[in-house]
Amino acid sequence: MAHASSELILNPDGTVYHLGLSPDDLAPLIFTVGDPDRVDEVSQHFDRVYWKRSRREFNMHRGRLGKHEVLVMSTGMGTDNIDIVLNELDALANINFETRENKTDLQTLTIVRIGTSGAVDPSIPLGSHLFSAGALSFDGLLPFYEHSFEKVELGHFSVRPYYIPAPISQMQLPEDTLQGITATLPGFYGPQGRTIRTVSSFKQTMDRLPEWQRDGHSVTNFEMETAGIYALSHLLGHRAYSFSALLANRRLGTFHPDPAERVDALIKKVLAWASTLELK
């Protein structure tokens, strides 16, 4: 069945609505960052950069890294943007734009988030690099999709999040990378327990989250995109990995004195690791 023009919206030049990309622009290995300025920080390490484009908050650089054709793009902050990015990347890969029908042979994309985050475990050193082995979705995106993810009862907060394991089966992590469960929140201040001139109702939950465990991991950090990337990758059949530089320790009230160095180190580490991946 063909997708209606109101559902799969294409621009007059045949590109997908928000990203402004055509299927030929896609690469099988995609790096996502929240900050548009971080796209340059990633692509400077590519072996080649074919083109650079910008549309809305989406900066996009297409290039080559080792044996892989790659794309790095900014998503902006929050799972509302992830909803757009993941669905449109999947459309580029798996829908025939001429017929508007799903392709028979579906492509599995590999999506790697390189981001920043704040630790909630006081034992984690500032500047650590962490892989999200799973995510707790507090962000509100999942109720709009049919899914079977586990709904978690925390017992001390009115919002019940969903637990989403990393959408991969096997992997070898980059060296010196921690693992933990990442809580994805719908904002940076109150939703992450920050109190400046307002009072956050999430503070008590934040303090107790490290007590919750699943699949041998505890909740280690907060951010704003991972659960959306993981959930939609599960639902659409893609592989996804989320890596974070932990720049703050929320329990201790500390922030790393040189955040740019820790982010740059994470970028180099993840790119070296990703260049060895075997893609589907």
Taking the C-alpha atoms of residue 244 and residue 271, their distance in angstroms, rounded to an integer, is 13
The model's pLDDT over 221-262, given as tens digits with 9 standing for 90+, comes to 999 999 999 999 999 999 999 999 999 999 899 999 999 999
pTM: 0.96
Phi first, then psi: what are they for 17, rounded to 5°? -55, -60
Q: What is the mean pLDDT of residues 50-57?
A: 96
Segments in the chain forming alpha helices (H): 38-43, 79-94, 203-208, 226-236, 259-274
Please give the CATH number for the structural domain made up of 23-274. Answer: 3.40.50.1580
Tracing tokens 């929140």 back to the chain, one arrives at 185
- pLDDT over 90 percentage in the chain: 87
**In degrees rounded to 5, what are phi and psi of residue 22?**
-105, 160
Contact 185, 78 (CB under 8 A): no
Q: What is the pLDDT at residue 203?
A: 82
Query: DSSP states of 48-59 as a string?
Result: EEEEEEEETTEE
Contacts of 161 (CB under 8 A, 6+ apart): 136, 137, 138, 151, 152, 154, 183
Which residues on adjacent β-strands are paired with residue 101? 96
pLDDT more than 70, % of the chain: 100
Of the pLDDT bands very low, low, confident and very high (cuts 50, 70, 90), residue 206 is confident
Strand boundaries in the chain, DSSP class E: 29-33, 48-55, 58-65, 68-74, 95-96, 101-102, 110-119, 129-137, 150-151, 162-165, 178-184, 213-214, 217-223, 239-249, 254-255
Q: Which of 29, 42, 34, 25 is nearest to 275 (CA)?
A: 29
Question: In the predicted model, what is the mean pLDDT of residues 56-75?
Answer: 97
pLDDT score for 117: 97
Confidence (pLDDT) at 170: 67
Residue type, 226: T
Q: What is the pLDDT of residues 70-98, one digit of tens each?
A: 999 999 999 999 999 999 999 999 999 99
Tokens representing 68 are 């892989």
Q: What is the mean pLDDT of the chain?
A: 95
pLDDT tens digits for range 144-194 = 999 999 999 887 777 899 999 999 876 789 999 999 999 999 999 999 999
Are 254 and 45 within 8 A, CB to CB? no
